């Protein structure tokens, strides 16, 4: 519901997440089945909309809430095995991604170069290699001097980002043990002086399991819920699904069990570690409701990561939003449509200085027309 007058709005915060820019649809002449982003023109259109018209003279902060780049989905680099996690490989992957989506990067630059416009980029688990300052430099070198001034990269997922009082943003991978990493302690330096990113085990899982099967079925990472995907797969695509399930079981029990046993020989502690390891798809709504209950000053909590667009307002008046993704998703639940290009908007009016009015919405970008988005409820 719209209740703020346009002339009363002092700032708009636009939040998108999980764009997953990859190395392009073709790499060295070969089809790249790992590329998940196919909406370059739509994203350019989106950025132009929120920096022109009614938004031309308004303060607008665009928050890219994790997984802008997808370093885990870049094939055909000349670095393999552990070298895939080297700084040299990270730079190469970053360059390949930026080259494949030049129009998008130029649009980010144009947005950040305009008056009263700002971009805040929070790293997630798929672009965690942006912890390397060299990779950050590769990205910022593609921007103009003015664009670089208004483009900041935030590395620490443990520190909630607040673009305005009462609003908190975090990517969401912090909730899952498989994807947790400490940006301040994730770079290893070899005796040779070469530096390497030490990824969470979930990143190894993506590169070793998901990417392998994605080349056969490119929807493998885009179907929800996972349980129904496996049930349907056993019926309609049994050989592939059985192979996929066995590969997952082998990876977890043969690879992760070694880590778990090394951590502790106490059975109760081993059980606790196994329980945590299995929490790959936690109920974000329960987790975030608890967070909001413990932080009464937070009025809006925005996350991403799971690719599931959700908006919930609790009895306290606090709102939780998962902004979804800008990649194609396929839902097997009845009544669940194919949500595309979802994002959150928060318009702020400071008529009441003690408690500014916040107009919060989860939107689905439809392109520039008289009504460029629909509000999801």
Q: In 235-271, which positions are buried (b, 16+ CB within 10 angstroms) versus exposed (e)?
A: eeeeeebeebeeeeeeebeeebeeebeeeeeeeeeee
* C-alpha span between 205 and 252 (Å, rounded): 9
Residues of the chain with pLDDT under 50: 1, 280-281
Question: pLDDT tens digits, residue range 207-243?
Answer: 989 999 998 999 999 998 899 999 999 999 999 999 9
Quick one: tokens of 209?
Answer: 């399991």
pLDDT of residue 335: 64
Q: In 155-177, which positions are buried (b, 16+ CB within 10 angstroms) versus exposed (e)?
A: bebeeebebbeebbbbbbbbbbb
CA dihedral sign of residues 145, 150, 151, 153: positive
Give the HSE-up count for residue 70: Cα atoms under 13 Å, Cβ half-sphere.
24
Output the CA–CA distances (angstroms, integers) from residue 15 to 153, 326, 360, in the order listed: 15, 12, 11
pLDDT of residue 377: 55
pTM, two decimals, is 0.91
Say which residue the tokens 């902004």 belong to: 323
Long-range contacts of 223-228 (CB under 8 A, 24+ apart): 223/329, 223/330, 223/331, 223/332, 224/307, 224/308, 224/329, 224/330, 224/331, 224/332, 224/333, 224/336, 225/332, 225/333, 226/281, 228/332, 228/333
pLDDT of residue 1: 42
pLDDT of residue 174: 86
The set of residues, in sequence order, having a beta carbon less than 8 Å from that of 111 and lying 6+ positions away, is: 47, 48, 50, 51, 62, 117, 119
pLDDT of residue 201: 87
Give the HSE-up count for residue 244: Cα atoms under 13 Å, Cβ half-sphere.
23
pLDDT of residue 287: 76
pLDDT of residue 14: 98
Question: pLDDT tens digits, residue range 113-145?
Answer: 999 999 999 999 999 999 999 999 999 999 999
């Amino acid at each position: 519901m719209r209740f703020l007058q346009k002339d009363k709005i002092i700032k708009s915060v636009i939040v998108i997440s999980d764009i997953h820019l990859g190395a392009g649809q073709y790499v060295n002449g070969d089809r790249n089945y790992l590329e998940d982003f196919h909406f370059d023109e739509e994203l350019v259109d989106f950025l132009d909309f929120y920096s022109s018209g009614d938004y031309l003279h308004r303060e607008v902060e665009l928050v890219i809430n994790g997984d802008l780049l997808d370093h885990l989905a870049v094939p055909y680099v000349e670095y393999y095995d552990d070298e895939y996690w080297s700084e040299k490989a990270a730079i190469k992957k970053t360059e390949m991604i930026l080259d494949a989506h030049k129009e998008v990067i130029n649009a980010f630059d144009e947005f950040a170069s305009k008056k009263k416009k700002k971009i805040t980029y929070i790293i997630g688990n798929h672009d965690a290699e942006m912890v390397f300052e060299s990779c950050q430099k590769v990205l910022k070198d593609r921007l103009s001097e003015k664009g670089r001034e208004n483009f900041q990269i935030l590395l620490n997922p443990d520190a909630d980002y607040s673009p305005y009082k009462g609003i908190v943003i975090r990517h969401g991978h912090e909730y899952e043990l498989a994807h947790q990493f400490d940006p301040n302690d994730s770079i290893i330096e070899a005796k040779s002086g070469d530096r390497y990113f030490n990824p969470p085990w979930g990143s190894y899982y993506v590169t070793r399991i998901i990417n392998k099967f994605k080349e056969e079925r490119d929807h493998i990472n885009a179907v929800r819920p996972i349980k129904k995907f496996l049930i349907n797969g056993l019926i309609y695509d049994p050989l592939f699904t059985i192979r996929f399930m066995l590969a997952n079981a082998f990876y977890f029990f043969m690879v992760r069990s070694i880590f778990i046993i090394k951590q502790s020989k106490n059975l109760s502690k081993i059980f606790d570690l196994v329980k945590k390891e299995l929490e790959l798809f936690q109920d974000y709504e329960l987790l975030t409701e608890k967070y909001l209950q413990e932080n009464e000053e937070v009025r809006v909590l925005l996350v991403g990561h799971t690719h599931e667009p959700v908006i919930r307002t609790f009895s306290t008046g606090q709102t939780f939003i998962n902004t979804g993704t800008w990649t194609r998703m396929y839902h097997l639940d009845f009544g669940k449509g194919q949500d595309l290009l979802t994002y959150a908007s928060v318009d702020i009016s400071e008529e009441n200085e003690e408690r500014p009015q916040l107009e919060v919405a989860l939107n689905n970008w439809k392109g520039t027309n008289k009504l460029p988005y629909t509000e999801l409820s």
